[in-house]
């Protein structure tokens, strides 16, 4: 029972990225979201995922799978609705 609850909580948690994507799409701007934050969060999630897949824990696998998918969506929306130059480094 607890493993089932943990699995569903882990799968549902990354869905909180949806309001962020909707917010950016409605405003048609992602200027208030740091590209470094978005890319860094996505990259860390991608690097963590293999570790979760190796463990065999359903909650960890579910969380990481959904998290990578959702953060890929966040990153795509942030880049799509970026106005002006897209520059990840501080040097322009």
Q: What tens digit of pLDDT does each residue of 10-52 get?
A: 999 999 999 999 999 999 999 999 999 999 999 999 999 999 8
At the topology level of CATH, where does 2-80 sit?
Answer: Monooxygenase (1.20.1280)
Q: What tens digit of pLDDT does each residue of 76-88 get?
A: 999 999 986 555 5
Sign of CA dihedral 16, 21, 24, 25: negative
CA distance 25 to 3: 35
**Taking the model in full, what pTM does it have?**
0.82
DSSP 14-52: GGGHHHHHHHHHHHT--TTS-HHHHHHHHHHHHHHHHHH
- CB count in 10 Å sphere of residue 65: 16
With left for phi above 0 and alpha for psi between -120 and 50, is residue 56 left, alpha or beta? Answer: left
């Amino acid at each position: 029972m607890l493993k089932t609850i943990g699995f569903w909580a882990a799968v549902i948690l990354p869905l909180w990225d949806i309001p962020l994507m909707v917010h950016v799409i409605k405003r048609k701007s992602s200027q208030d979201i740091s590209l470094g934050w978005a890319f860094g969060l996505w990259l860390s999630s991608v690097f963590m995922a293999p570790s979760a897949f190796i463990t065999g824990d359903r909650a960890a696998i579910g969380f990481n799978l959904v998290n990578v998918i959702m953060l890929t969506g966040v990153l795509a929306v942030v880049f799509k609705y970026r106005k002006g130059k897209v520059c990840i480094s501080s040097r322009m």
